Amino acid sequence: MCTYERETLPVRASGKTASGWASMTEATVYFDHPVHFAAGHALMIDLRDPAAGPSQRVALELSATSARALAESILRTLDSTPARLLSELS
């Protein structure tokens, strides 16, 4: 069953596409049927720049276990980074 719940947020990021590195301005996170990942459902993360069209997109399809492990790793990394460096990333 699909929840159709998704969260979209603005981001400051870069992603590597087939044509090279590109700015990403929006992230969408949702749980649905994956396109490529061999599972019935997956957590999807789409990074994109809507102004640049559909080719400016980086997509991830993750198992729930992998998504949680990635989220925890991101938080641990940010928590252990000196605050002065984090302010440079804002």
- The pTM (predicted TM-score) of the whole model is 0.84
pLDDT for res 88 = 67
pLDDT tens by residue, the chain, 90 residues: 667 789 999 999 999 988 899 999 999 999 988 888 888 889 999 999 999 888 889 999 999 999 999 999 999 999 999 988 888 665
**7-to-10, 50, 80 alpha-carbon distances in Å:** 10, 15, 27
